Amino acid sequence: MFQKQAIVPKATAIIVAAGSGSRMGKGSNKQFILIDDKPVLAHTLLKFHHAETIDNIIIVTKKDFILTVSDLVREFGISKVKHIIPGGSTRQDSVSCGLAYAEPDSYVAIHDGARPFITTEKINELVYAAHQFGAAAPGVVPKDTVKELGENSKIQATIDREKLRLIQTPQVFKADSLKAAFEKARQDGFCGTDDCSIAEHYGITVKVIDGDYTNIKVTTPEDLPVAEAIYSFLNK
């Protein structure tokens, strides 16, 4: 799918951990929920810390959590973290905050802090792919049959799953191109559902490579037993 280069390509990881966690309903941010006695965010950060293609990490979090995140980074020895900054009112705003700290000529890997099961191998694969194709994101084929609905919620068509992908993170781009895409989105009042949609709005073509079904986002209480099962499966 892509060719490895003689020199290891590098990227800055922007870890977005500024969500309110309201859907978790536990009274605390989802980033700090424990899986095997380790916070979700620590699991995530350590994967990027150990990825050879990541040379530094920017964490975007809520202002009130900056000290907590700083303590977590020190506790787990995540020395690649260079900045811990406050985010905005939306994920899109938070990514923009992180991009402001990225070097213009670098690549950036945008990842959800609540996706703790990304692998270092997949991170490296995506950075290599982005350096070859300009932008890259992981995606998986939907497992269920997908229907298009018409009037009154009646089935209108069955969509070919092989042409569909559920897009995950990290999503990797050239920093200057993504900054320009976010600025255009701001000017146009465009709200994207992910970084790829903002890139698409700007005209950037994104290469999709195979993702992993285990790369889930821990968002709701129902995700916790699934996350614990995935952790046990991956570490058995």
> Which pLDDT value is given to residue 30?
83
> Which pLDDT value is given to residue 59?
98
Q: How confident is the model at residue 22 (pLDDT cuts 50, 70, 90)?
A: low
Output the domain CATH number for residue 79: 3.90.550.10
Domain that holds residue 91: 11-234
- Percentage with pLDDT > 70 across the chain: 94
> Which pLDDT value is given to residue 208?
98
**Has residue 38 been placed in a domain?**
yes
Backbone Cα Rg of the chain: 18
Q: What is the pLDDT of residues 141-185, one digit of tens each?
A: 999 999 999 999 999 999 999 999 999 999 999 999 999 999 999
Average pLDDT value for residue range 52-61: 98
What is the model's pTM? 0.94
In this structure, the chain runs to a length of 236
**Has residue 21 been placed in a domain?**
yes
Query: What is the C-alpha separation between 152 and 212, in angstroms, rounded?
Result: 35
**Has residue 2 been placed in a domain?**
no
Is pLDDT at 26 greater than 60 in this prediction? Answer: no
| CB 149, CB 156: distance < 8 Å | yes
**Has residue 39 been placed in a domain?**
yes
**Has residue 20 been placed in a domain?**
yes
Q: Output the six-digit token pair for 9.
A: 């390509």
**Has residue 1 been placed in a domain?**
no
Average pLDDT value for residue range 101-112: 96
**Has residue 217 been placed in a domain?**
yes
Candidate from 17-21, 50-54, 127-131, 169-173 with smallest mean pLDDT: 17-21
Number of domains, the chain: 1
> Which pLDDT value is given to residue 178?
98
Query: Who's near 158: CB < 8 A, 6+ residues apart?
Result: 145, 146, 147, 148
Handedness of CA 51, 137, 159, 163 (dihedral sign): negative
